[in-house]
A and B are shown apart, each in its own frame.
Chain A
Amino acid sequence: MPCRKKVSDSVSFLTPGFFLFFPVVALVWFLLPGSGRRIWLLLASWWFCLCAGVEHLAFLLGATALTYAGARLLDRCPGGRRKIVLAVLLLSVFGTLFVFKYLDFALRLLDRIFAATGLAFSSPGLSLILPVGISFYGFMAAGYLIDVYRRERRAETSFLDLALFLSFFPALLSGPISRAGDLIPQLRRPAPFSWDALRSGSVRFLWGAFKKLVVADRLGILVSTVYAAADDFGRLAVWTAAFAFSIQIYCDFSAYSDMALGCAQAMGLRLTENFRTPYFSRSIGEFWRRWHISLSSWFRDYLYIPMGGSRKGRRRKDWNVLVVFAVSGLWHGAALTFLVWGLVNAFYQIIGGRTLEIRKKLRRRLGLREEAPLTAALQVSLTFLCSTAAWVFFKGGSFTHSLAIFRAMFTGPWLIRPVSAWGLDPAELTAALFAVLLVAAVECLSVRMGSFREKLLSLPRPARWAGILMLLAAVLIFGVYGTGYDPQDFIYFKF
């Protein structure tokens, strides 16, 4: 069954099938009049989901029907009953997510707890499928239901529009987690075809392909090789792998977002930006405002603020941060390591908040002006280091293995195996280094001068074409794909 296959085998942006699928979908989308184009886009989106397996589509259809009917009910329900209806609806959405994503984890956890206390319990060892994109469209559905409950928007009367909002194929697998108020009006009154939008969207897609195939998947080989036996490589390799994973996960996930946003843009639709050069953040708090923005803002609006946010004192704020990041960690995966990763980020934020004044004083003593480049560089470096340390739990696979990686960072010889044995040969390492430098340069220029992509597209045609063709050639030559390579899923597909 398709569900046993990797998602990349069936539905992904980087498959030959998608390169046939997308132009046809986009072309017909622009050619059809009125609601015909929305029906077409919905059918195309469902087809995209169906390629992963019929059971995946069944879940999407079920979630769509529940959300549509639930929101209509919420709209009609009088006062006190609305809360109950919302609770039932959210319980259904998150309950489904829990069963398919977390039940197995919860049972195994119970297993361990009972074993530790000497009681007999044996978990049944479930092997349920994880419907593709459920973490993303589930959150979109929940956000929409809460908006309707809060009377911030009316329930959609058009099933077509709501279904398209939840199913829109570029965002189906890994977001961004769109808001109904943002996407549905665009779907209803899409922008007319524009060459500028097509160019910009296509270049954005290509840049995403570069980050995924040239950087992320190449670094992924090094990270997997070193992390598999961290003790055997020496400290230098483990530190390198840790930094490489920070870059890998950014290039991987932001690549997906770029491709999703690029596809939507080419069709005249604007999805939520998910990343704003997060590794240039000067604090972990800022990092989380620039990393996976659509998820962070979802948690802010639907969990953190309803819990009181920062309005109920410092202790309560810290507790709220702790809860939000614990949930965020678990959203990323059903494992203790993800929980720990979330909690580590929460502690960073709490400690950061508590030491704000002390750090200011320290900077003054050291003569570091707040806006001085050196101060910024130190803060950016420290933030990157902190996030890198947290990512160890994210990638580690298990708590024990993550601790083993930390141990290997700080103990033993600096170098046990030569650099050429870290999974990438010297030529591959050189390619990775240049590609990372290119990504860093583009990010740096984007911070200083605004979108690098728009700068490229504003160049005279010959220069613009040369730039795009060179980028395309780089992807085709240096990309990690084809025979002999194991195509790697986008990391966030798993969530």
Chain B
Amino acid sequence: MQISKWREPLYGLLFLLLAGLMIGLLSLLFRPARSDYGAVWGPYLAEPEDSLDYLYLGSSYAYCDVDPVEIYARTGLTGYVLAGPEQTLSQTYWYLREALKTQSPELVMLEGSALGFRQYENYTQVNVGYMPFGFNQLGAVFTASEPELRTGLLFPLYFYHGRWKELTLSDAAAALLPGGIDDLKGFTPVSGICAQIVDGPFEREAQPDTVYAENLSWLERIAQLCRKEGIRLVLVLHPTYSQLPARLRMQIAEDAAALDIAFYDWTGDGALLGITPALHYYDPGHLNQEGAAIFSAWLGDFFTETLALVPRTQTQENAAAWIQVLARRAAAPDAA
């Protein structure tokens, strides 16, 4: 019997496929499941397609300060905070590209303190590592990640295989089984009051001009992407006590105007928005749960009144799902 010359190559390919599948499964198994503090892609992808009115991007200032459920309660606008800890604008660009695969929001809100970040901050492993595998993650690995982290970002077992000693069945289930939608919609409430707040606001260290220019180039790419997709982009700075230097904020205003990006600097506007520093800051940078509720309610008004954002028509199931989220929040407010 003549053996086809393609038999061995095909078996070889099949073996490589199986090995790749096994490595992929092991990578998922050993990577800790992530459900809060940003970079939460699983629940985001579980949202019904094209169901979100806005996306809120940025760093921890976004996911700690903005509660989409609070905004929905006030305005009926559906949204999601898709941010990551100390997320740089280069990472945010790739986040947005990936996020737009399943959603077509009318508005992208971008918390812009990352314009004052370094080229790489401390959480690339989380921010890029948890992105869904694909072209956008590869883009983030090679353009928005430290070179020394790239091996682990491309091959997650490099970071996480040492967890074999601590892995439990529930960890494995959480890692492998698909998660449902997130009642917090990307928001991470934090409790506690910052004692240092009495010292007053302080300025964060400014980065060299070259770093700012690099960050600005990524902002430009984000703006171009939004323009191409017909999405309104709004750049904001949240009310905070760890403030970007005033000179830098003026520069940002000028550059945003040059790029035709709407820019709102709320850095020093906490009192106007209803935030009491002694009560509503978790730390000098982030609002606590109560502060986030006040700020989010105010944001809702900002969306509808200033930006004239109107809730899109939702399917019955989706509308019901948001109402159920509201009901669950009302029944257990501490869960938020």
User: B133 near A: Cβ within 8 Å?
Assistant: no
User: B158 near A: Cβ within 8 Å?
Assistant: yes
- Kindly specify which of A338-346, A360-368, A383-391, A475-483 makes contact with the partner chain: A475-483
Closest B residue to A428 by CB, please name it.
B165
Interface residues in B8-38 by Cβ distance below 8 A to A read 8, 11-12, 15, 18-19, 22-23, 26, 30
Give the distance in Å from the alpha carbon of A478 to the alpha carbon of B164 in the complex. 8
Closest B residue to A470 by CB, please name it.
B22
Closest A residue to B158 by CB, please name it.
A482
Which residues of B are found within 8 Å of A34, using beta-carbon distances?
A: none
Partner of B164, one of A16, A461, A477: A477
B158 touches A483 (CB 8 A): yes
Which residues of B are found within 8 Å of A428, using beta-carbon distances?
A: 165
User: B314 near A: Cβ within 8 Å?
Assistant: no
Interface of B is mostly: helix
Partner of B22, one of A16, A472, A478, A483: A472
Give the distance in Å from the alpha carbon of A16 to the alpha carbon of B165 in the complex. 25
1/0 per residue B125-167: CB within 8 Å of A?
0000000000000000000000000011011011101101100
Closest B residue to A194 by CB, please name it.
B8
Give the distance in Å from the alpha carbon of A468 to the alpha carbon of B26 in the complex. 16
B26 touches A483 (CB 8 A): no
User: A425 near B: Cβ within 8 Å?
Assistant: yes
Give the distance in Å from the alpha carbon of A428 to the alpha carbon of B163 in the complex. 11
Which residues of A are found within 8 Å of B159, using beta-carbon distances?
A: 482-483
A473 touches B22 (CB 8 A): yes
User: A118 near B: Cβ within 8 Å?
Assistant: no
Least Cβ distance of B181 to chain A in Å?
32
A477 touches B26 (CB 8 A): yes
Which residues of A are found within 8 Å of B151, using beta-carbon distances?
A: 16
A interface, how many residues as a size bin? 20 to 34
Please give the number of chain B residues whose Cβ is less than 8 angstroms from any Cβ of chain A in the complex: 21
User: A484 near B: Cβ within 8 Å?
Assistant: yes
Partner of A481, one of B12, B18, B158, B164: B158
B8 touches A195 (CB 8 A): yes
A472 touches B19 (CB 8 A): yes
Give the distance in Å from the alpha carbon of A34 to the alpha carbon of B87 in the complex. 53
1/0 per residue A391-425: CB within 8 Å of B?
00000000000000000000000000000000001
Knowing A461-B11, A476-B26, the reply to whether A482 touches B165 (Cβ < 8 A) is no
B162 touches A482 (CB 8 A): yes
B164 touches A425 (CB 8 A): no
Most buried by A among B12, B30, B154, B164: B164
A484 touches B162 (CB 8 A): yes
Knowing A16-B151, A195-B8, A483-B152, the reply to whether A473 touches B26 (Cβ < 8 A) is yes
Which residues of A are found within 8 Å of B22, using beta-carbon distances?
A: 469, 472-473
Give the distance in Å from the alpha carbon of A282 to the alpha carbon of B162 in the complex. 39
A476 touches B161 (CB 8 A): yes
Give the distance in Å from the alpha carbon of A172 to the alpha carbon of B18 in the complex. 33
Which residues of A are found within 8 Å of B23, using beta-carbon distances?
A: 476
Which residues of A are found within 8 Å of B18, using beta-carbon distances?
A: 465, 469
Knowing A461-B11, A465-B18, A476-B23, the reply to whether A482 touches B164 (Cβ < 8 A) is no
Give the distance in Å from the alpha carbon of A461 to the alpha carbon of B15 in the complex. 10
User: A427 near B: Cβ within 8 Å?
Assistant: yes
Give the distance in Å from the alpha carbon of A348 to the alpha carbon of B91 in the complex. 63
Closest A residue to B14 by CB, please name it.
A465
Which residues of A are found within 8 Å of B30, using beta-carbon distances?
A: 477
Knowing A469-B18, A469-B22, A482-B152, the reply to whether A477 touches B161 (Cβ < 8 A) is yes
Least Cβ distance of A419 to chain B in Å?
16
B157 touches A476 (CB 8 A): yes
Give the distance in Å from the alpha carbon of A472 to the alpha carbon of B157 in the complex. 12
Least Cβ distance of A203 to chain B in Å?
12
1/0 per residue A180-203: CB within 8 Å of B?
000000000000000100000000
Closest B residue to A195 by CB, please name it.
B8
Give the distance in Å from the alpha carbon of A425 to the alpha carbon of B12 in the complex. 39
Interface residues in B82-115 by Cβ distance below 8 A to A read none
Which residues of A are found within 8 Å of B8, using beta-carbon distances?
A: 195
Q: List 23 A-B contacts (CB under 8 A).
A: A195-B8, A425-B165, A427-B164, A465-B15, A465-B18, A468-B15, A469-B19, A469-B22, A472-B19, A473-B26, A476-B23, A476-B161, A477-B26, A477-B157, A477-B161, A477-B164, A479-B161, A481-B161, A482-B157, A482-B158, A482-B161, A484-B162, A485-B162
Residues of A within 8 A of B (CB): 16, 195, 425, 427-428, 461, 465, 468-469, 472-473, 476-479, 481-485
Residues of B within 8 A of A (CB): 8, 11-12, 15, 18-19, 22-23, 26, 30, 151-152, 154-155, 157-159, 161-162, 164-165
CB-based closest 9 A-B pairs: A482-B158, A427-B165, A195-B8, A16-B151, A477-B164, A483-B159, A476-B157, A477-B161, A469-B22
